[in-house]
Structure 1
Amino acid sequence: MSHDAPTAPAPVILVPGFWLGAWAWDEVVEELRDAGVEARALTLPGLSPDARNRGRVTMEDHVAAIREAVEAAERPPVLVVHSGAGFPGYAVSDRVPDRIAAMVYVDTAPGVGAMNPEVQGEEMPLDWEELSAEENLDGLSPEQLQTFRDRAVPQPGAVVREGVTLSDDARREVPTTIVCTSYSAAEYQQYAAQEGMAWLAGIRELRDITWVDLPTSHWPMWSRPGELAAIIADVARNAMAGRPTS
């Protein structure tokens, strides 16, 4: 009797949201690797501390950077996107749907159009007073919050106000998990049914969504890294389980 060899989990690519670089995922990357899952995090164009000409970085630049990482993977990866990265992440699933094993949206959703077309200027620096008034900070330590403030990099303005064209309906079939932290899954679905919410618009398009509630801050990679990594690892294992071993 022959036995098939165990299928390795899909590799994982992690993309942080506004103001953050790859460092934001350090704890999750470590947890995933300890669990036997290949993982790497990206710093998108314009979001390294020494980035020059940040005002020239476009949404297409972010889409291209994520696509390059996806296409460089030896096997179709799980693409994990957080917060504002839901827009370029969804665009990549439109450009190369066959190269993505699954999508994971961490307290975000597949965005359609521009995040905020009203944003002016070349850069959008972190406004701590505004952010702390509007975002869920549950479970974040004072040290983590200070690190965030110290390491935050201005977001390229064009990335916030530009949209990209989506044209391949195959993106609708990409298996998708939405990890709900600041809001519950029920609230996400309720808000997605409303018109005019660009960051949630893609939810109505997708045909294969798994909803996961993980009540915590908008930055669960810091407030609940182990549990978030476990969710992502499960997606990576399940993504490969149904794929043919060519």
Structure 2
Amino acid sequence: MTSTPQNPSPATMILVPGYWLGAWAWDEVRQHLTAAGARAIALTLPGLDVQDPQRATRTLDDQAAAIQDVIDSIDGEVVLVGHSGANGPVSLVLDRIPNRVRRVVWIDSGPMPPGGAFAPDLPEAVEELPLPEFDVLGRQASLEGLDIDHLDRFREKAVAEPGPVARARIELSNDARRSVPTTLVCCSLPSAQVQELAAAGHPMFAEVDRLEHVELIDLPTGHWPMWSRPEALAEAIHHAARPRP
């Protein structure tokens, strides 16, 4: 008598937003994932909850610990999805518990290198980084695909990033983080350019060239695809999270 192979249980997707964002940023993507039968949890990281009286003093370690607490509460496999500046705390989690993450999916982002920081020269006196004016932000990251309603909601709901998070240099020591299967969803830069920059050792992408198992998916749009192309982003995440042989 032969046993019938069992379909593997779907992994829980943990959606981690980038700078100035909370769980709300994933609302549309999460709706599409749920409609497709996926299990998805969206996070608001420490320091990004406007109701937190200690918000401005939260640290990168606090953010990584919050992600790890959610992972520890899940009985089963986890796919960790990080957007933009979430690469700091997500990279820390991969360094600490690589065996608990079945796959990491970077959304217009990628793993941070040891010693990397978002704003290493930010003076200690600066308590927080507010969302810049959009003409300034647009020179730093593509706003393609965002209409006035998207921008108004972004401005209304954005929370200033804690200074200690922005200036912290990340400490990584576990090479096993590079063996976690990885998907890069490339939006504001095409995958071919990301690969070229990684091979050239560009500081933002050098770690990509050191990953053992990496795939790249092109999703042409701006830096905030959860608003400009939410359904396509959900499809890309769902595809990346599928069980592999």
TM-score for both structures, normalised by structure 2: 0.92
Runs of 5+ consecutive residues of structure 2 not aligned to the other structure: none
Q: Output the CA distance in 2 between the equivalents of 1:3 and 1:76.
A: 22
Q: Output the CA distance in 1 between the equivalents of 2:48 and 2:168.
A: 17
Residues paired across the two proteins, number: 239
Residue in 1 that maps onto 2:33: 32
2:77 is aligned with 1:76: yes
Given candidates 207, 212, 215, the residue that maps to 1:210 is: 215
Q: Output the CA distance in 2 between the equivalents of 1:141 and 1:74.
A: 40
Q: Output the CA distance in 1 between the equivalents of 2:138 and 2:218.
A: 22
Question: 2:74 is aligned with what amino acid?
Answer: A
Residue in 2 that maps onto 1:153: 159
Question: 2:34 is aligned with what amino acid?
Answer: R
Q: Output the CA distance in 2 between the equivalents of 1:138 and 1:55.
A: 30
Question: 2:48 is aligned with what amino acid?
Answer: L
Q: Output the CA distance in 2 between the equivalents of 1:32 and 1:214.
A: 17
- Give the 3-state SS of the residue equivalent to 1:237 in structure 2: coil
| Contact 2:111–2:208, Cα closer than 8 Å, also in 1 | yes
TM-score for both structures, normalised by structure 1: 0.92
Question: 1:48 is aligned with what amino acid?
Answer: D
Alpha-carbon distance, 1:152 to partner: 0.6
- Give the 3-state SS of the residue equivalent to 1:68 in structure 2: helix
| Contact 2:197–2:206, Cα closer than 8 Å, also in 1 | no
| Contact 1:86–1:108, Cα closer than 8 Å, also in 2 | yes
Q: Output the CA distance in 2 between the equivalents of 1:147 and 1:55.
A: 22
Q: Output the CA distance in 1 between the equivalents of 2:121 and 2:182.
A: 29
Per-residue CA deviations over 1:47-95 (Å, capped at 9, x if unaligned) read 0122222331111111111111122211121000000001211111110
Question: 1:18 is aligned with what amino acid?
Answer: Y
Q: Output the CA distance in 2 between the equivalents of 1:163 and 1:71.
A: 25
Q: Output the CA distance in 2 between the equivalents of 1:107 and 1:196.
A: 15
- Aligned identity (percent) is 45
| Contact 2:14–2:42, Cα closer than 8 Å, also in 1 | yes
Runs of 5+ consecutive residues of structure 1 not aligned to the other structure: none
Alpha-carbon distance, 1:36 to partner: 0.8
Given candidates 225, 228, 231, the residue that maps to 1:223 is: 228
Mapping for residues 226-245 of structure 1, pairs under 5 Å: 226-238=231-243, 241-242=244-245
Question: 2:120 is aligned with what amino acid?
Answer: P
- Give the 3-state SS of the residue equivalent to 1:32 in structure 2: helix
Question: 1:213 is aligned with what amino acid?
Answer: D
- Give the 3-state SS of the residue equivalent to 2:14 in structure 1: strand
- Give the 3-state SS of the residue equivalent to 2:205 in structure 1: helix
Bigger mean CA deviation after superposition, 1-10 or 110-119: 1-10
Q: Output the CA distance in 2 between the equivalents of 1:80 and 1:193.
A: 24
- Give the 3-state SS of the residue equivalent to 2:241 in structure 1: helix
- Give the 3-state SS of the residue equivalent to 2:242 in structure 1: helix
Bigger mean CA deviation after superposition, 130-139 or 32-41: 130-139
Residue in 1 that maps onto 2:106: 105
Q: CA RMSD in A?
A: 1.5
Given candidates 200, 205, 226, the residue that maps to 1:200 is: 205
Given candidates 116, 120, 133, the residue that maps to 2:119 is: 116
Q: 1:35 to 1:60 in 2, by over 3 A?
A: same
